[in-house]
Amino acid sequence: MVNQYEDNLNEIFHALSDPTRREIVYMMAQKERTVSELAEPFDMSLAAISKHIKVLERANLVERNVRGRTHICRLNAASLSQVSEWLRFYERFWSNRFDPLEKELIKAQKKEH
Amino acid sequence: MVNQYEDNLNEIFHALSDPTRREIVYMMAQKERTVSELAEPFDMSLAAISKHIKVLERANLVERNVRGRTHICRLNAASLSQVSEWLRFYERFWSNRFDPLEKELIKAQKKEH
DNA sequence: GTTATATTTAACCATATGGTTAATCAATAT
DNA sequence: ATATTGATTAACCATATGGTTAAATATAAC
Domain map of chain A by residue range? 4-111
Between B4 and B31, the higher pLDDT residue = B31
Mean pLDDT of B25-49: 97
pLDDT on residue B25: 98
CATH architecture of B4-112: Orthogonal Bundle (1.10)
**Confidence grade of residue B3 (pLDDT, cut at 50, 70, 90):** confident
Provide the residue type at A29 as one letter: A
Which of A16, A18, A90 shows the shortest C-beta gap to B29?
A90
Give chain A positions within 8 Å (CB) of B91.
Answer: 84
Say whether the CB atom of B48 is under 7 angstroms from strand C. Answer: yes
**Confidence grade of residue B96 (pLDDT, cut at 50, 70, 90):** confident
- Give me the residues paired with residue A73 across strands: A33, A64
Determine contact, residues A83/B83, Cβ cutoff 8 Å.
yes
Q: Which letter does DSSP use for residue B113 in this model?
A: -
**Confidence grade of residue A113 (pLDDT, cut at 50, 70, 90):** very low
Which of A11, A18, A87 shows the shortest C-beta gap to B80?
A87
How far, in Å, are A59, B4, B5, B22, B61 from residue B83 at the CA level? Answer: 17, 14, 11, 14, 11
**Confidence grade of residue B113 (pLDDT, cut at 50, 70, 90):** very low
Determine contact, residues A56/A76, Cβ cutoff 8 Å.
no
CATH architecture of A4-111: Orthogonal Bundle (1.10)
Mean pLDDT of B35-43: 97
Instruction: Name, in order, each residue with C-beta under 8 angstroms of A31's C-beta and a sequence gap of 6 or more.
Output: none
Query: pLDDT digit string (tens) for A24-55?
Result: 999 999 999 999 999 999 999 999 999 999 99
